[in-house]
Amino acid sequence: MKAELRQLEIQSLLTDPLDRSPALVTINAGAGGTESCDWASMLLRMYLRFCERRAWSTELHDVQEGEEAGIKSATFEVNGENVFGLLKSESGVHRLVRISPFDSNARRHTSFASVFISPVIDDAIEIVINPADLRVDTYRASGAGGQHVNRTDSAIRLTHIPTGTVVQCQSQRSQHQNRDTAMKMLKSKLYERELDERRKKLDEVESQKADIKFGSQIRSYVLHPYKLVKDHRTDFESHEPDEILDGNLMPFVEEFLSQKVGVAKN
């Protein structure tokens, strides 16, 4: 029951329609050569393990190997339940502090890698219009058209009340034909409106990518001289970096969602 309750709590935090979308995960090594490439490969493993723990399917689209070790970049797609909603908190710069395994003098090194999460948008948009959301007005058609057009209220005006979208048609001879044509016009306008809304959502996500700069990390993973993983946005900490790097990310994800929703409500 506790597990089911926790799932319901998480579900309540995912309020954006895009939260249910699949996601593309892109990882790029920062400046620092082999060290950063190795860190990028560690992040790739961490996210693949996280997806495995969530029973999500993954498909690796692209990997660029590092010159000596690790990877320069990688992109993979994730499909499952609430994928983007749970992964979006990972977008940003991730910082690693450790004793370098590539340094013969065993010195401490700091490495950076960026992670960007974007939703995968399904182009198939089904427009369903509830008759209760429509206001139908009939009026007498104007202009040329003969006695039939002038004597009957054959023209149709449809108003989609939730969006305020208005279409009208008077080109056909019968009211029934004008209504059918007007419905096609309305669906077309609502389809374009939905596309615009999705474009705006994607633009918002892309704008976050522009703000990512190396040195402005969202999370630090310290393996030496002490063990600590800290999220700088929420101040949430874990003293078990090995668990985190093995894909146990839900505590950080839940804390991010909880604080984000709390700020939005306030």
What tokens appear for 185 in the block? 């016009």
- Residue-wise DSSP of 121-157: ----------GGGEEEEEE---SSSHHHHHHS--EEE
Indicate where the chain has its CATH 3.30.160.20 domain(s): 131-198
pLDDT given at position 143: 55
Please name the fold of domain 131-198.
Double Stranded RNA Binding Domain (3.30.160)
Residue 261 pLDDT: 64
Give the global pTM: 0.73
Whole-number pLDDT of residue 258: 87
CATH number for the domain formed by residue range(s) 2-124+209-265: 3.30.70.1660
Q: Are 82 and 14 in contact (CB under 8 A)?
A: yes
Contact 81, 61 (CB under 8 A): no
Helix (H, G, I), strand (E, B) or coil at 247: coil
Of 24, 39, 169, which Cα lies nearest the Cα of 84?
Answer: 24
Domain with CATH 3.30.70.1660 in the chain: 2-124+209-265
Helical H runs in 160-247?
A: 175-210, 241-245
Query: Is omega for the bond preceding 225 within 30 degrees of 0, making it cis?
Result: yes
* Average confidence (pLDDT) per 10 residues, the chain, 266 residues: 79 84 92 90 98 95 91 94 93 93 84 91 76 90 52 82 89 84 85 80 70 71 95 96 96 90 51
Instruction: Tell me what pLDDT residue 130 has.
Output: 92
Taking residue 172's Cβ as centre, other Cβ atoms within 10 Å add up to 19
pLDDT recorded at residue 45: 97
Residue 125 pLDDT: 66
